[in-house]
């Protein structure tokens, strides 16, 4: 009798193990699905770090909504819709008041945009680079170096800064950045650059830059007596 019970248990044990394994796997899959669901919902509601998006550090953090064409960046005062340009490298940028979209920025008539900035309108290619209060930041260029920063005052509807720049940082309405210097012999030699020859040997360009500040409210631009060198493409 005991032998018979033992044989039955030996037959049932693998089946029980299989059932327990299946239940465990189903539980794990449900947990993963729940986490993904919650993650997707939070990504549509929580602001995304501007620096992580490649925007100018110090600009406001937007809520992002993925659209069938392009993306919408949602701010307190503005909603920015960007689309890849069908004709050129860069973005077409459309600005709206949040009241216009009524919570659905992906389905807006382009005619209702308060501002439209198409890539190709300027000499360079446009890439959205952030919003700070009523100021719109646009990065322009086709290469990693000698990029252009344009800043628009949206309330006054005017361009307030157009400059070559690198390493920008915005704090309390004051933008700091570096601008490439014209290689005047008297200036370049006075800037320490111990790695310059090594960069040249690697086929890189040596860029000499000066720090500047730009105050958004007053539109005052001030060179700072601070210099540096870096490798460029």
Instruction: Answer with the residue of higher pLDDT: 148 or 47.
Output: 148
Contacts of 202 (CB under 8 A, 6+ apart): 231
Report if residue 129 sits inside a domain: yes
How many domains, in total, are found in the chain?
Answer: 1
Taking alpha carbons only, the member of 139, 95, 132 closest to residue 115 is 95
Report if residue 117 sits inside a domain: yes
How many angstroms separate the CA atoms of 204 and 197, rounded? 10
Q: What is the dihedral of CA 146, 149, 150, 154, to 10 degrees?
A: 170
Report if residue 141 sits inside a domain: yes
Is the Cβ–Cβ distance between 152 and 192 less than 8 Å? no
Q: How confident is the model at residue 61 (pLDDT cuts 50, 70, 90)?
A: very high
Report if residue 71 sits inside a domain: yes
How many CB atoms within 10 Å of residue 121? 11
Report if residue 35 sits inside a domain: no
Report if residue 181 sits inside a domain: yes
Share of the chain above pLDDT 70, in %: 76
How do residues 214-232 score in pLDDT, each as one tens digit? Answer: 999 999 999 999 999 999 8
**pLDDT reading at 37 higher than 50:** no
| Domain of 228, in residue numbers | 63-232
Q: What is the CATH number of the domain that holds 106?
A: 2.40.128
Is the Cβ–Cβ distance between 166 and 209 less than 8 Å? yes
How many angstroms separate the CA atoms of 231 and 233, rounded? 7
Report if residue 144 sits inside a domain: yes
């Amino acid at each position: 009798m005991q032998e018979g019970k033992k044989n039955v248990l030996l037959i049932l044990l693998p089946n029980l193990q299989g059932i327990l394994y299946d239940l465990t796997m189903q539980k794990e899959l449900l947990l993963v699905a729940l986490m993904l669901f919650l993650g997707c919902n939070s990504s549509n509601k929580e602001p995304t770090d501007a620096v992580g998006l490649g925007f100018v550090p110090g600009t406001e953090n937007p809520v992002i909504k993925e659209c069938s064409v392009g993306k919408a960046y949602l701010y307190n005062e503005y909603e920015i819709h960007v689309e890849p340009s069908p004709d050129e490298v860069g973005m077409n940028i459309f600005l709206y008041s949040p009241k216009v979209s009524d919570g659905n920025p992906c389905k807006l008539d382009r005619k209702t945009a308060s501002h439209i900035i198409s890539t190709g309108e300027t000499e360079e290619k446009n890439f959205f680079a952030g919003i700070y209060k009523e100021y719109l930041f646009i990065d322009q260029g086709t290469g990693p170096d000698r990029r252009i920063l344009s800043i628009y005052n949206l309330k006054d509807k005017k361009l307030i800064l157009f400059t070559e720049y690198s390493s920008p940082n915005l704090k309390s309405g004051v933008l700091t950045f570096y601008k490439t210097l014209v290689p005047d012999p008297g200036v370049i030699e006075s800037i320490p650059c111990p790695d310059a020859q090594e960069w040249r040997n690697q086929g890189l360009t040596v860029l000499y830059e000066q720090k500047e500040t730009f105050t958004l409210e007053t539109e005052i631009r001030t060179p700072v007596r601070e210099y540096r060198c870096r490798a460029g493409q």
